Amino acid sequence: MAALKYSRQREAIKSYLCGREDHPTADMIYTSIRGDFPNISLGTVYRNLSLLVELGEIRKITTDGADRFDARITPHSHFICRNCGCVMDVMVPLNDPVPQVNQSWGHGEVEECRMEFYGICEQCKQSAKCS
């Protein structure tokens, strides 16, 4: 890839993501970043997000709903609430299956394993009890 031109918008998107733990959607990023860049379009936000993912600077999390974005690129898993759609980090160290798979599988070299856990978050569990 050719050297990339510095982009204030891209930097702003990245630093917004770095300050969040909630894995925002492109829409959430767009809404927030529009305060500083009134002329930015949702398309530009999407393009910059794809580019950042391609550069390995952020991660895209595919869920049943909209894609979410994560500035934490160290290996970790996610818990996704089926009710409210919130996405939380799972930092429990899980045995990395990649070496085992690579020993026995033979379909190519696996580089990464991504895991998503689905369930009901604590907050949704609580509010279900109260109603």
Q: Which of 73, 84, 94, 128 binds Zn ion (CB under 5 A)?
A: 84
Is 13 near Zn ion (CB under 5 A)?
Answer: no
Question: Between residue 53 and residue 72, which ones bind Mn ion under the rule CB under 5 A?
Answer: 70, 72
Given Mn ion, Zn ion, none, residue 121, with its beta carbon under 5 to 8 Å by kind, binds: Zn ion
Question: Between residue 53 and residue 82, which ones bind Zn ion under the rule CB under 5 A?
Answer: 81
Three-state SS string across 24-65, please?
CEHHHHHHHHCCCCCCCCHHHHHHHHHHHHHCCCCEEECCCC
Is 116 near Mn ion (CB under 5 A)?
Answer: no
CB of 123 to Zn ion, least distance (A): 5
Task: With beta carbons less than 8 A apart as the criterion, state whether 77 and 119 touch.
Answer: no
